Amino acid sequence: MALPQESDAAREDNAVSDALVQFRQGELTFAEYLETRIELAVEHLRGRMSGDHLEIVRDVLRESLASDPVLEKDAAWLARRTPSDSLER
């Protein structure tokens, strides 16, 4: 019997979780964490649009994230937390 394949959403959740753990542990800067999230967000668009259009989408996402005051506040909060904190909920 074949094992079920991991869904795209599950793989993305795992990648996001891995990136968040790396950010919390200081292995990624906040900018690197955001770039990881942006790349995950546009992954499904690769091969469906030109590289120029894909870069425009990335730029729009970067601008949106850079101007989000809630994200800035959350980033400071996330940076203070440790990976074990999220397990204690």
User: What is the tens place of the pLDDT at every residue in 33-64?
Assistant: 889 999 999 999 999 999 999 999 999 999 99
Query: Does the pTM of the predicted model rise above 0.95?
Result: no
Contact 59, 75 (CB under 8 A): no
> What's the mean per-residue pLDDT of the chain?
78
pLDDT for residue 61: 94
pLDDT for residue 53: 97
> Residue 43: CB partners within 8 Å, gap ≥ 6?
12
Minimum mean pLDDT range among 4-8, 11-15, 42-46: 4-8
Handedness of CA 26, 30, 32, 37 (dihedral sign): positive
Q: What is the mean pLDDT of residues 64-78?
A: 79
pLDDT for residue 5: 54
